[in-house]
Amino acid sequence: MAASADVVHVTNDNFESFKKSKAAVIDFSATWCGPCQVLSPIVDKLATEFKGKVA
């Protein structure tokens, strides 16, 4: 997934602070998943469009 700078990748290290933030859109994907890769640019665009409104 070619992540936008606005897309936050949640890990064990940042999960606690992340869950305290605003509403979130969560995208589960895998590099081997064709439909996931099709949606990746859409998720990136939405992340930019809604920056500061959702996490």
3-49 pLDDT tens trace: 556 777 888 898 888 777 767 778 888 999 999 999 989 988 988 88
pLDDT of residue 37: 92
Q: Look up residue 40 and give its amino acid.
A: S
CA 27 from chain centre, in angstroms, equals 6
| Total-model pTM | 0.60
- Say what the pLDDT of residue 1 is: 46
Residues with catalytic function:
33, 36
| pLDDT value of position 3 | 55
CA distance 40 to 4: 9
How many distinct structural domains can be found in the chain? 1
- Which residues, including other chains, have CB under 8 Å from residue 50's CB and lie 6 or more apart? 25
Which residue range is the domain that position 19 belongs to? Answer: 1-55
